[in-house]
Structure 1
Amino acid sequence: MKKRVVAAIMCVAFVMTGCGSLAGRHNIDSGFTYIESRDYVSALESFEAATEKGEDECLIHRGIGIVKLQTGDYQSAVDELLASLAADEGIVDDMDFDTNFYLAEAYYRLGDYAKAKEVYDAILALRSKDSNAYYLRGVCELASGGHDSAYSDFSKAIALNSRDYGVIILIYKSLAEYGYEDEARNILQTAMDNGSSFMTNYEKGQISYYLGNNADAQSYLELARNERDQEKEPVVLMLGQTGEKQGDYNYAISVYKTYLNENPESATVYNQLGMCQIKQGDYDGAISSFEAGLTVDDKGVNQALRLNEITAYEYMGQFNMAQSLMATYLQDYPGDETAIRENIFLSTR
């Protein structure tokens, strides 16, 4: 496997053909546009049309592979991404590496950590300063029981980009998930100590939250929420979570509603608001929030909104409505094993 991946990403030709060709890409371009909007059904239809029109084989396989990865068909994702790499006749570029990152993720999702690691090994053989590859390889090593090698890779990732607090937080979560909580907290505390003079309020708020310093987190995030150039939605979501973490759902709901009054096109915030309302026992309010979120039609959030709406109807004791919605849900998401089990429960009510 390693030789195949290395060969794929090292393949060099002196012609501008294969992946990345701009000729005859109408359906392919449509497919990738649908992927960006998370409309995977339409994306697959576009790639099927691209195949019929004889468009770029490399890009078609790449697009289908990404769709399969995003929809949970990981073995098909592996097959398609390998086919994309095999069909690549162009000069090696960022797209080749990007395809390999998708391939490694597919292997990881399959639980084949050894093959995922081989892909990251191949990437790092050519890009020795790719901090993201070090982080992801570390995740694979941690999952397969290699704590020391994982920690080494995490350390390299941080050394290469010590101000990438998003990755540092992901490293914290990975270590904490596998029981290395003290080690994980030390990484966060070091980041805070070393970066406090130039970190943004949002970054300070994030790290304070994960360190368990909830009051500090709220203070920093409230400041960030009022900063003109700060993207507001991630701040609002984390600020609301500081309230949820303490069981203060009134505060969290106030944060979410205030944001939605000015930004009513956030399906993610509607979903989080609905979940808070469920915890308060306000099932009617939760259903209204989920339905408002669905009107936004964010393909990446619709599934969660629909499933959570079904849950709200269950809590209300309206099992017939829940079962009706579940039947429609399973038509659109037939591979959701959790929903299938829940549907069996609903059928007994």
Structure 2
Amino acid sequence: MKLRQTALIVAMAALLVGCGSLSGRHNIDSGFAYIESHEYTNALSSFDEAEKNGEDPCLIHRGRGIAYLRSGESQKAVTELLASLAADEGIVDDMDFDTNYYLAEAYYNLGEYEKAKEVYDAILSLKGKDSQAFYLRGVCELASDNHDSAKSDFSKAIALNSRDYTMIIMIYKSLAEYGYEEEATSILQTAMDQGSSHMTNFEKGQISFYLGNNAEAQSYLEAARNERDQEKEPVVLMLGMTGEKQGDYNYAVSVYKTYLSENPASARVYNQLGMCQIKQGDYNGAISSFELGIAVDDKELNQALMLNEITAYEYMGDFATASSMMANYLDLYPDDEAAIRENVFLSTR
């Protein structure tokens, strides 16, 4: 199959076929494992080895595309994902739709909203009840200043999956970001009014939080925190945020520390605790929290934890340590332009 020139044609073509044989893909499997652990440089090396060994080109290009996308190199991601779609010769399956979702995300990151919408158009032409595609196309419409079209897509997404409260909250955030706060709040309130009989305490707590009803949010989230089958980390993070939102940092710190005393392998909660301690002016405590978070070695959080620890040293006025740590940080993340600019500032202190 030859490489098509437009996102629409490629997306449509890819949705009719699938990737080839799953045999002989040792390096491909390694590459996707590295992506799962957020080790994108290693992932790209594995896909290079896979190419040398003649493994499935469709999967190689797909893997590279995802690695580039997650590394912030969206233009390279587009090139690889288009190549994956062009090499796609198997039977259609969920992977084909998934590749198109990544392609649309890459276009969106590049500000090429029309191309992203074309990909979602192609998905919806074959999966007309895909609520995620409607939601994401709506986000592109908002970015393109097409509010009415976005509203229509959001309404369709909610109608198709009215109990997907994570998606509804994301729709709220998108509308609020573009200045449609009243409309966004109305969507949340409707979800609460119509779904309270079957919503979980965590879902009620989330929506109450974004509606600004902090006392109700805390009540629901405290109940969720004590539920046996509820995943605790997201509950704890939002519960702490209800305190932070009201300026009650002591409450937030207590929530985070209580959780960490029983679950010390949560880099995300250590990071939030450290940020809260910075707001309190407890810079030594923040540094300790960030270091404990880094020790967990969560590849997804390590970069943020390192940068936040540097920030804590800056707030302390310890610019020498901050500068030394920034040099180490840039060795690991040389493409962080904001950190490069901050390093210039630190060099003058």
How far 1:192 sits from its partner (Å)? 0.2
1:88 and 1:30, CA in 2 relative to 1: closer, same or farther beyond 3 A?
same
Q: Does 1:8 align with 2:16?
A: no
1:188 correspondence with 2:193: no
- Counterpart CA distance in 2 for 1:271 and 1:242 is 16
**Alpha carbons 2:319, 2:346 under 8 Å: kept:** yes
| Distance (Å, rounded) in 1 between the aligned partners of 2:307 and 2:237 | 20
Structure 1: give runs of 5+ residues left out of the alignment.
Answer: 13-17
Superposition deviation, residue 318 in structure 1: 1.0
Match of 2:218 in 1: 218
Query: Partner amino acid for 1:194?
Result: Q
The correspondence of residues 90-109 of structure 1 with structure 2, limited to 5 A, is: 90-109=90-109
| Residue 166 (structure 1) aligns with | 166
Q: Which residue of the partner structure matches residue 175 of structure 2?
A: 175
What does residue 15 of structure 1 align with? none
The aligned counterpart of 2:3 is: none
2:67 is the alignment partner of 1:67? yes
Gaps of 5+ in 2: 1-5
Q: Secondary structure at the match of 2:307?
A: helix
Amino acid at match of 1:11: L
2:19–2:89 contact (8 Å) kept in structure 1: yes
Give the deviation of 1:3 after TM superposition: 4.2
Structure 1 SS opposite 2:345: helix
Query: What residue is the counterpart of 1:203 in the other structure?
Result: 203
Instruction: Give distance in 1, aligned partners of 2:155 and 2:111.
Output: 24
What percent of counterpart residues are identical?
77
The answer to whether the Cα contact below 8 Å between 1:74 and 1:109 also exists between their aligned partners in 2 is yes
**Corresponding letter in the other structure for 2:296:** V
Distance 2:101 2:88 in 1: 16
CA pair 20-263 structure 1, distance change in 2 beyond 3 A: farther
TM-score for the superposition, normalised by structure 1:
0.97
Q: Shift in Å at residue 33 of structure 1?
A: 1.0
User: How far off its partner does 1:20 sit?
Assistant: 5.2
Whether the 8 Å contact between 1:5 and 1:122 is mirrored in structure 2 is: no
**2:124 paired with 1:124:** yes
C-alpha separation in 2, matches of 1:102 and 1:324 = 37
Q: Distance in 1 between matches of 2:160 and 2:255?
A: 36
- Post-superposition, which runs of at least 4 consecutive aligned residues in structure 1 deviate over 4 A? none
Report the equivalent of 1:143.
Answer: 143
Shift of 1:7: 3.8
Shift of 1:5: 2.2
Which residue of structure 2 lines up, in the alignment, with residue 256 of structure 1? Answer: 256
Distance 1:310 1:82, change over 3 A: same
Aligned 8 A contact 2:14 2:86 in 1: no
Shift of 1:9: 2.2
**What is the deviation of 1:154?**
0.1
Deviation string for 1:208-229 (max 9, x for gaps)?
0000000000000000000000
Question: Matched residue of 1:128: which SS?
Answer: coil
CA distance in 2, matches of 1:149, 1:76: 30
Q: Partners in 2 of 1:92 and 1:27 — Cα distance?
A: 23
* 1:1-349 correspondence to structure 2 within 5 Å: 1-12=6-17, 19=19, 21-349=21-349
Using the alignment, how far apart are the partners of 2:337 and 2:246 within structure 1?
31
The 8 Å contact of residues 124 and 133 in structure 1, kept in 2 or not, is answered as: yes
Matches of 1:2 and 1:64, distance apart in 2:
18
How far apart, CA to CA, are the structure 2 residues paired with 1:301 and 1:134?
A: 30
Contact 1:74 1:107 in 2 (8 A): yes
**Cα distance in 1 between the residues matched to 2:240 and 2:37:** 26
